[in-house]
Amino acid sequence: MTRSILISPSILSADFARLGEEVRAIDEAGCDWVHIDVMDGHFVPNITIGPNVVKALRPHTTKVFDVHLMISPVDQYLEAFVAAGSDIITVHPEAGPHIHRTVQHIKSLGVKAGVVLNPGTPAKMLDYLIDDVDLILVMSVNPGFGGQSFIDNQLRKIEAIRKMIDKTGREIHLQVDGGIDFTTAPKAIEAGADVLVAGTATFRGGPSAYADNIRKLRGG
Ligand code: DX5
Ligand code: ZN
């Protein structure tokens, strides 16, 4: 089956001194979504950006802001990220005590809700969440940094979740994040992913390379 593949560049690998221009450049280069990695130095060992930066970037593109929250606690920041212009908010079950409540909270704010599984978190975690989510993100690296190597055994998890999604009959995106490059992208797609996050592989070579990088990641 051929499903259309969406590319969501992670701006973690962009030039942070020129973030607005970088977002415009990946937009013009044909990305589908913009992946924004929010890290707090507590849930993950790195600190990145907050809602003010998301808000500042919003006028630079009309593309979907795909916001991956790696912060704990998470619930009290959801409103701010929605007000800043997020379209999809994705959360880790490990980030708070009540993932089901967090998913409902995100949906009540009028945006799409995603759940993300770390490499060590089993697909089973989704059993009582899948009917409520719009997106499932499989981490193919441990969260915290760009530029890490793809963990191959996550392909089996992607395959298992693809089956779970198809069983629901609902349209749920299956996203993969971490170590996606021209070699691992086709494997993730083959396993059933339809949204690829790519930081290093999108931004490598600077703005003149973005369109080519995105096309190659999509398999074109
Ligand atoms: C890791 C982040 C990823 C990361 C991907 O915690 O969630 O989005 O930026 O970077 P690459 O594509 O370089 O592995
Ligand atoms: Zn991410």
- Residue 155 forms part of a structural domain: yes
Q: Rounded CA gap, 160 and 155, in Å? A: 9
Helix pair 184-191, 154-168: axis angle to 10 deg: 30
CATH classification at residue 41: 3.20.20.70
Residue nearest to atom 6 of ligand 1 (CA): 143
Q: What is the edge-to-edge ordering of all strands in the sheet holding 6-9? A: 6-9, 195-198, 173-177, 135-139, 112-117, 88-91, 64-70, 33-39
The pocket of ion ligand 2, defined by CB under 5 A, consists of 37, 68, 177
| Per-residue tens of pLDDT for the chain, all 220 residues | 678 999 999 999 999 999 999 999 999 999 999 999 999 999 999 999 999 999 999 999 999 999 999 999 999 999 999 999 999 999 999 999 999 999 999 999 999 999 999 999 999 999 999 999 999 999 999 999 999 999 999 999 999 999 999 999 999 999 999 999 999 999 999 999 999 999 999 999 999 999 999 999 999 8
In the chain, what is the greatest distance between 2 CA atoms, to the nearest angstrom?
45
Judge whether 178 is annotated as a binding position. yes
Nearest CA-CA partner of 63 in 91, 98, 36: 36
Is residue 177 annotated as a catalytic residue, yes or no? yes
Residue nearest to atom 10 of ligand 1 (CA): 146
Count structural domains, the chain. 1
- 3-class secondary structure, 136: strand
Judge whether 68 is annotated as a binding position. yes
- Residue 220 forms part of a structural domain: no
Helix pair 19-28, 210-218: axis angle to 10 deg: 50
- Residue 35 forms part of a structural domain: yes
Q: Can you tell me which atom of ligand 1 is nearest the CA of 143? A: 6
Q: Which domain holds residue 209?
A: 6-215
- Residue 131 forms part of a structural domain: yes
What is the model's pTM? Answer: 0.98
- Residue 129 forms part of a structural domain: yes
- Residue 184 forms part of a structural domain: yes
- Supply 127's token pair: 């059993």
Judge whether 144 is annotated as a binding position. yes
